[in-house]
Amino acid sequence: MYNLIAGLTQASESAAAPSVSIDDASLWHRMSDALHQSFYRVLTLLIEVLPGILAFFVAMITFTLCGMVISSLLRRCLSWVKFDTRLARPGGDGWTPVSSPTEIVARASFWACVVLGLIIGVSAFDVSYATGTALPISLLPYVTHAVGAMFLLIAGILIARFLARSVLISAVNAQLQYARFLSLGVKWLVLVLTAAMVLDHLEVGGKIVELAFGILFGGIVLTLALAVGLGSRDLVSRSLESHVERGGEREHSAHSGASTSEQIRHF
């Protein structure tokens, strides 16, 4: 037994011997090589991508300037032909913008140019990046995805605010005491959904986000189903009954012409 252990110890010492034999100069040489290669790769990538970045900014600036010129020209031309006066309808209609039609056309043309510049700039950047794919940098794909994610985020925030207000006003007019909570619930539901979509678009989190949302929504639906099926049968039946009664009252008031009572008629 002792002989076996001694044999194994000798074998391990003989295996470690070559690594000990590497001298300091060789270590520094290898590290320096690694650093040089890394620096070279990054520099090469930057040199290859730099034209794309420059093209992006040049396209943006050029088209913004073009937009300003076109907008200014349009504003002058439309004012000269009295576009607002010609478009104005004496009888009026439902579409009554705050700005004058000339101003709207001028602004629209300006922003169209800016968006065009953005698209061309991103395309130029994309082409430039494609040529440098031999040197991968994992952050660069997010530049293009971030633009889409930003639009998603803005749209989500706007939709959340719109829906929250709609729910709040409707709930208040329906005289629901928990109107604010309902509105907040809708708002955060949409915001969280938006956040998940943004993360998914940015490819952050991967399947974790999908799983989390699947579990969350599945949980909500299951909770509601259980609540309705088991715990809130009476509540739901009362709610449905009151809804039916309200419908009956509405029909009755439509015939009688009174919306709240026999004495009060709003119209």
Partner 1 sequence: MTTERSTSAETLTIDRTTAALLVVGAAIPPEQLNALLTNLAEAFPAENVVVAVQGQIAVSAPANLRVIAAPHSSAAWMLQAADFVHAYEVGRDQQARAILMLGPGADSLKPEALRELARAALSGSVDLAVPFYTLPAHAGLINSAILYPLTRALFATRARFPLTIDLGLSMRMAERLATVGKRFAAANQVDAIVWPVNEATVAGFTLDEVAVGTRDVPQPSDPDINTILALVTGSLFADVDAKAAFWQRPRRVPAARMQAAEIVTADGTADVPRMVEAFRLANLNLQEIWSLVLPPHSLLALKRISALDAGVFRLPENLWARIIFDFVIAYRLRTINRGHLLGALIPLYLAWVASHLNVTASGTPSEAHIEAVAAAFEADKPYLVARWRWPDRFNS
Q: Which stretches of the chain bind partner 1, using CB under 8 A?
A: 89-94, 96-98, 162, 165-166, 168-173, 175, 177, 179-180, 250, 253-254, 257-267
Torsion sign (Cα): 221, 226, 229, 235? negative
Tokens of 90: 């004496």
Q: Name the maximum alpha-carbon separation found in the chain.
A: 113
Task: Report the residue number, 233 or 246, with the smaller CB distance to partner 1.
Answer: 246
Tokens of 127: 């082409």
Task: Report the residue number, 7 or 97, with the smaller CB distance to partner 1.
Answer: 97
For residue 16, CA distances in Å to 91, 99, 139 come to: 97, 82, 40
Give the per-residue SS3 of 30-85: HHHHHHHHHHHHHHHHHHHHHHHHHHHHHHHHHHHHHHHHHHHHHHHHHHHCCHHH
Task: Report the residue number, 7 or 91, with the smaller CB distance to partner 1.
Answer: 91
Distance in Å, CB of 183 to partner 1, minimum: 8
CB 168 within 8 A of CB 177: no
Torsion sign (Cα): 137, 139, 141, 147? negative
Distance in Å, CB of 121 to partner 1, minimum: 32
Task: Report the residue number, 21 or 261, with the smaller CB distance to partner 1.
Answer: 261
Tokens of 47: 């040199």
Q: Give me the torsion for CA of 18, 19, 20, 25, rounded to 10°.
A: 110
In angstroms, what is the C-alpha Rg of the chain? 34
Task: Report the residue number, 134 or 264, with the smaller CB distance to partner 1.
Answer: 264
Task: Report the residue number, 23 or 262, with the smaller CB distance to partner 1.
Answer: 262
Distance in Å, CB of 256 to partner 1, minimum: 9
Distance in Å, CB of 261 to partner 1, minimum: 5
